[in-house]
Amino acid sequence: MKNSDYFTLANGVTIPAIGFGTWQIPSGEVAYNSVREALNAGYRHIDTAQAYGNEASVGEAILDSGIDRSEIFVTSKLPAEIKSYEKAVKHAALTMKNIGLNYIDLYLIHAPWPWSEIGADYTRENIEVWKAMEEFYESGKTRSIGISNFNVKDIDAILENCRIRPMVNQIKLHPGHSQEEITAHCRKNGILVEGYSPLATGRLLDNGEIARIAAKYGKSVAQLSIRYVMQKGALPLPKSVHPEYIRQNFDVSFEISDDDISRLDSLK
């Protein structure tokens, strides 16, 4: 990858501008082979989470790849349900045990609320958990820290009560769902936006309008959607278990016109 294929986080750490997502990839052979395939295809950024149950397989694939550890950027996440300082410390240690690496590159709070209580107010608990995140960062076990699925209010609660500011916010981002308010707020505060589910968990694959735009560029719907996220100034995290699609999703060195970006913005 070229230097232009990286973002630089607020603390100076560089992060490859496209990542390989592993959500819903089962642990064991499938996760291991998918990550190995992604690394062979040129990805140098792998995203996992304790909640995915595949941290061990991801770590094993990285160690077995033969690629120098310093060349691979690895993200994991504190489970959304963990909302106390003590439990956050324990689960960060568990991730390090699971993944089997000496350090990870980015550690995120997976969501501002437990998945069974989406939208609930856990402001006080998140502030407490963030103190554990800061200590984890200062320990050197992770090179950067951040948040995921945080809206403007949730972000501000952390910013107003932290010693170390979040460096990343990972949110759902795809054509028709550009989350302009959150992305603008993150940019203003020096927080890199990562976009997961750039294909809306596969829903965009049958979208005729996206297919027509993609055809203009000689690209697939997936490639267009991934490139869209990049041109919005965010870092896409495509996921696949199929070698052909894993490689195709990495081949996004083309430019979508401003008119077509506007069309993609306006999709419902």
Cβ contacts of residue 214 below 8 Å, gap of 6+? Answer: 220, 221, 223, 224
- What are the structural domain ranges in the chain? 3-265
Please determine, for residue 202, whether its predicted confidence score (pLDDT) is greater than 90. no
Query: pTM for the whole thing?
Result: 0.96
List the single range of 47-51, 117-121, 196-200 with lowest mean pLDDT: 196-200
pLDDT at 79: 98
pLDDT at 44: 98
Q: Please give the biggest Cα pair distance in the chain.
A: 53
146 close to 108: Cβ distance less than 8 angstroms: yes
Catalytic residue flag (residue 52): yes
244 close to 215: Cβ distance less than 8 angstroms: no
Indicate which residue of 6, 32, 43, 52 is catalytic.
52
- Assigned superfamily of 3-265: NADP-dependent oxidoreductase domain (3.20.20.100)
Of 18, 25, 16, 68, which is closest to residue 49 (Cα–Cα)?
Answer: 25
DSSP 12: S
Please determine, for residue 196, whether its predicted confidence score (pLDDT) is greater than 70. yes
18 vs 1, more confident: 18
Task: Give me the chain's average pLDDT, please.
Answer: 96
Neighbours of 251 (CB within 10 A): 14
3-state DSSP percent of the chain in helix, strand and coil, to 5? 45, 15, 40
Residue bearing tokens 């170390």: 164
The span from the CA of 22 to the CA of 35, in Å, is 8
DSSP 114: -
The span from the CA of 27 to the CA of 35, in Å, is 11
Alpha-helical (H) ranges within the chain are 29-41, 55-64, 85-99, 123-138, 152-159, 180-188, 208-216, 221-231, 243-250, 258-265
Cβ contacts of residue 134 below 8 Å, gap of 6+? Answer: 145, 162, 163, 164
Instruction: With H, G, I as helix, E, B as strand and everything else as coil, classify residue 168.
Output: strand
| pLDDT tens by residue, 11-29 | 999 999 999 999 999 999 9
